A and B are shown apart, each in its own frame.
Chain A
Amino acid sequence: MTVAFVFLAGMTLVSALGVVLSRSVVHSALFMSGSFLGISGYFVMLNAPALAAFQVLIYVGAVTVVILFGIMFTQKPQVRRYRTIINRQFWAGLLVAVGIGAFLAYVLSAEDWGGTEAGNGPREVGAFGRDLLGVSQGAEIFTLLYEVASVLLLVAVVAAIVVSRRKIGGGVDRGVRE
Chain B
Amino acid sequence: MQTVLNLLEVEPIRLLISFGAVLFLVLNLAAVLTMAERKVSGYIQLRYGPNRVGPRGLLQPAADVFKLFTKENVSPGRSDLWVFLGAPIAMFIPAALVWLVVPFAPEAVVADLNVAILFFVAITSIGALGVVMAGYGSRSAFSLLGALRGAAQMISYEVPLILSLLGVVMLTGSLSLVDVVQAQGDTIWTWYFLPQLPMFITFYIAGLAEVKRVPFDLPEGESEIVGGYMIEYSGMTWALIQAAEFASMAVISAVTVTLFVGGWQPPLPFLDLGPFNWVWFGLKTALIMFTFQWIRWSVPRLRMDQLMDLGWKILVPVTLIWLFVTAGAMLVF
Binding site for B on A (CB under 8 A): 24, 26-27, 30, 33, 49-50, 53-54, 56-57, 60-62, 64-66, 68-69, 72-73, 77, 123-125
Asked if B119 and A65 make an inter-chain contact with CB atoms under 8 angstroms apart, the answer reads no
Question: Which A residues touch B129, using CB under 8 A?
Answer: 30, 33, 60-61, 64-65, 68
Chain B residues positioned under 8 Å from A73 (CB to CB): 148
- Does chain A have a CB within 8 A of B208? no
Residues in A whose Cβ lies below 8 Å from that of B118: 50, 53-54, 57, 125
The smallest beta-carbon distance between B232 and chain A, in angstroms, is 16
A30 touches B148 (CB 8 A): no
**Is the C-beta of B323 less than 8 angstroms from some C-beta in chain A?**
no
A-B Cβ contacts below 8 A, count: 73
A50-B115, A65-B155 given; 13 more Cβ-contact pairs under 8 Å:
A27-B83, A30-B83, A49-B114, A56-B122, A56-B125, A62-B125, A62-B155, A65-B132, A69-B132, A72-B132, A72-B148, A125-B115, A125-B175
A-B contact pairs, 30 of them (CB 8 A): A26-B80, A26-B136, A27-B83, A30-B83, A30-B129, A30-B133, A49-B115, A50-B115, A50-B118, A53-B115, A53-B121, A54-B118, A56-B122, A56-B123, A56-B126, A57-B118, A57-B122, A57-B125, A60-B125, A60-B129, A61-B129, A62-B155, A65-B128, A68-B129, A68-B132, A69-B132, A69-B152, A72-B144, A77-B136, A124-B114
**B125 contacts across to A, CB distance below 8 A:** 56-57, 60-62, 65
Instruction: Mark contacts of B154-176 with chain A using CB atoms, 8 A cut-off: 1 yes-contact digit, 0 otherwise.
Output: 01001000000000000000010
Mask, B55-73, CB within 8 Å of A = 1, is: 0000000000000000000
Determine the residue in chain A with the shortest Cβ distance to B86.
A30
Q: Taking the complex as formed, is B239 at the interface, i.e. its CB lies under 8 A from any CB of chain A?
A: no
Shortest A38–chain B CB gap in Å is 14
The 8 Å CB contact of A49, one of B113, B124, B151, is B113
B155: which of A66, A77, A124 is its contact (CB, 8 Å)? A66
- Contact at A72–B136, with CB atoms within 8 Å? yes
**Chain A contacts for B128, CB-based, 8 A:** 61, 65
User: Which of A24, A54, A64, A125 neighbours the largest number of chain B CB atoms within 10 Å of its CB?
Assistant: A125
Report the minimum CB–CB distance from B117 to chain A (whole Å).
Answer: 9
Give the contact-size bracket for chain B: 20 to 34
Binding site for A on B (CB under 8 A): 80, 83, 113-115, 118-119, 121-126, 128-129, 132-133, 135-136, 144, 147-148, 151-152, 155, 158, 175
- Chain A residues with CB under 8 A of B80: 24, 26
Give chain B residues whose Cβ lies under 8 Å from the Cβ of A54.
Answer: 118, 122
Q: Which 9 A-B pairs have the closest CB atoms?
A: A61-B125, A57-B122, A56-B122, A53-B118, A53-B122, A65-B128, A68-B132, A50-B115, A49-B115
Bound-state Cα–Cα, A68 to B148, Å: 10
Distance in angstroms between the alpha carbons of A68 and B134 in the assembled complex: 12
Distance in angstroms between the alpha carbons of A27 and B86 in the assembled complex: 12
Q: How far is the CA of A124 from the CA of B175 in the complex (A)?
A: 10
Q: Please, which residues of chain B bring their CB within 8 A of the CB of A68?
A: 129, 132, 136, 151
CA distance A33 to B125 in the complex (A): 12
A23 to chain B, nearest CB (A): 11
CB-defined contacts of A30 to chain B, threshold 8 Å = 83, 129, 133
- How many angstroms from the CA of A7 to the CA of B321 in the assembled complex? 45
A69 adjacent to B133 (CB under 8 Å) = no
Q: How far is the CB of A28 from chain B (nearest CB, A)?
A: 12
Q: Verify A53–B119 contact, CB threshold 8 A.
A: yes
Judging by beta carbons under 8 Å apart, are B136 and A65 in contact? no
Which of A30, A33, A50, A77 counts the most chain B CB atoms within 10 A?
A: A30
Question: With a CB–CB cut-off of 8 A, which chain A residues contact B158?
Answer: 61
Name B128's closest neighbour in chain A (CB-CB): A65
A48 CA / B119 CA spacing, docked (Å): 12
- B126-A61 in contact (CB<8A): yes
Chain B residue with the shortest CB-CB distance to A128: B115
- Contact B148–A69 (Cβ < 8 Å): yes
Q: For the complex formed, measure the closest distance between the CB of B76 and the CB atoms of chain A, giving whole angstroms.
A: 15
Say which residue of A60, A69, A125 sits within 8 Å of B126 (CB atoms). A60
Given the complex of chains A and B, what is the CA–CA distance between A39 and B212 in angstroms?
29
User: How close is B108's CB to chain A, nearest CB, in angstroms?
Assistant: 21
Distance between Cα atoms of A66 and B155 in the complex (Å): 9
Kindly provide the distance from the CB of A29 to the nearest chain B CB, expressed in whole angstroms. Answer: 9
